[in-house]
């Protein structure tokens, strides 16, 4: 299961806006990205490498044990 709290906290720690995250993942606006980060939609596997690069972390950090 993807650790949405980690993703959100990491983004905030790095000062990355919702809009920037949205653009990196190919969304037009922040509200679309927020639906993924809040759990309304599920991140697809092809999004995770881009997200890891944006958040300067490893993909394995996204998963709970």
Whole-angstrom distance, CA of residue 34 vs CA of residue 19: 9
Expressed in percent and rounded to 5, the helix, strand and coil fractions of the chain are: 60, 5, 35
pLDDT band of residue 64 (cuts 50, 70, 90) is confident
pLDDT tops 90 at residue 65:
no
pLDDT band of residue 5 (cuts 50, 70, 90) is very high
Residue pLDDT, tens place only, 40-62 = 999 999 999 999 999 999 999 99
Quote the DSSP letter at residue 42: P
How high is the mean pLDDT of the chain? 96
Whole-angstrom distance, CA of residue 64 vs CA of residue 24: 24
């Amino acid at each position: 299961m993807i650790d949405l709290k980690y993703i959100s906290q990491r983004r905030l720690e790095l000062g990355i806006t919702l809009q920037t995250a949205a653009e990196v993942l190919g969304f037009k606006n922040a509200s679309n990205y927020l639906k993924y980060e809040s759990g309304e939609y599920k991140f697809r596997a092809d999004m995770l490498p881009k997200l890891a690069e944006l958040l300067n972390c490893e993909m394995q950090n996204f998963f709970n044990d």
